[in-house]
Amino acid sequence: MAAGSAGGAAAEIAGQGSPRDPAGAAQPVPPMVRFFTINSVLAKHDGLRRAASMPVEIAATDPAKTDAVASDALQLSAITGPTDEPFGLMTFRAPEGPLWVKWRAIQSAVAREQVSIAQCNRDDARCSIAERSFVGLMRAAAAAGTAHDRAETVNRGVNRAVRYVSDDQQHGQADVWSAPLQTLRSGLGDCEDYAIAKYALLRAAGTAEADLRLVLVRDLAVRQDHAVLALRIAGQWLVLDNRRAGLLEGRDLQSLMPLFALDQRGVSLFAAPYAERPHHESEDALAPAAAAVAGGGDPGPPLLL
């Protein structure tokens, strides 16, 4: 990806004046431009905060101007053109960090829970209360008439089964992600826990994994970090939110700034707000991998953070 910086040119013009042609007419001064690859941007992500006074960097439309275009470089047309991701924005793989640790730990925990859920689905007499609740919601969703009805059944069911509490209230620390049976067992959770439970239930009810994204957003209306579940139905992305019984679309989503998408591929960044995006609370490394999920669990292979 090639990008340029125009801030230095403005300062040079202010200090030296604009050059003129022999007739005395002022000539435009081209901006000072520098180029870099997407890998260099990602390398700086975790350790660099851009100061407000630094020059604004913009994408160049001519990638041939740089001699270091990586094979995975993002073209400007790809960012501004239509995409098949939620909110109509392009995504790309996020750098390794706390979000990868949390998501891999949740994926491992969900996989372990699926064993007891499958057992319960075969024999109700062997179900715990949490497993019976999950299987009941799963069966109701699977029996729904349409994909939209299935999503509404899961959204309403989880919203009713779980009472919202902050992680500080429930766990005594910030940003703990719980697996679905843990959430249903306690009947408590925050926005990530609702979204994770809905993700697992829709998968169990037959929704294709490629049509689901757990999305971390910034709610600009209330200036808070939030998490929702995005679901694609017939090519259109809808959103399941713990604050609403119905599915959200269109104007309902205008206050949400998408930051990260989590799915079977891992953790992705939304490209458009990347340069000036706010920091999401889930990016903080507040606990080791083994403690990232309430109740512990195998976080998977060690990561270089």
Is residue 78 a contact partner of residue 90, using CB atoms and an 8 Å limit?
yes
Strand-pair partners of 228: 215
- Sorting pLDDT into bands at 50, 70 and 90, what band is 52? very low
- Sorting pLDDT into bands at 50, 70 and 90, what band is 21? low
Query: How many Cβ atoms are within 10 Å of 174's Cβ, its own excluded?
Result: 14
74 versus 156: the higher-pLDDT residue is 156
Cα(185)–Cα(179) distance, integer angstroms: 10
**Nearest Cα residue to 78 out of 275, 289, 272, 277:** 272
For residues 256-276, average pLDDT: 84
Q: In this predicted structure, what is the pLDDT of residue 88?
A: 87
pLDDT tens, residue by residue, 56-105: 343 444 444 333 333 333 333 333 445 789 998 889 999 999 999 999 99
Q: Which two tokens stand for residue 141?
A: 């969703």
Ramachandran region of residue 44, left (φ > 0), alpha (ψ -120 to 50) or beta?
A: alpha
In the predicted model, is pLDDT for residue 119 greater than 80? Answer: yes
Domain covering 89-291: architecture: Roll (3.10)
* Predicted TM-score (pTM) of this structure: 0.68
Q: In this predicted structure, what is the pLDDT of residue 271?
A: 83
Q: In this predicted structure, what is the pLDDT of residue 186?
A: 97
For residues 201-219, average pLDDT: 96
Residue 286: burial class (beta carbons within 10 Å; 0-12, 13-18, 19+): middle
Mean pLDDT of the residues in the chain? 76
- Sorting pLDDT into bands at 50, 70 and 90, what band is 282? confident
Q: In this predicted structure, what is the pLDDT of residue 28?
A: 53
**Which residues belong to CATH 3.10.620.30 in the chain?**
89-291
Q: Which two tokens stand for residue 84?
A: 């098949």
Strand-pair partners of 236: 233
- Sorting pLDDT into bands at 50, 70 and 90, what band is 276? low
- Sorting pLDDT into bands at 50, 70 and 90, what band is 280? confident
pLDDT tens, residue by residue, 164-196: 999 999 999 999 999 999 999 999 999 999 999
216 versus 84: the higher-pLDDT residue is 216
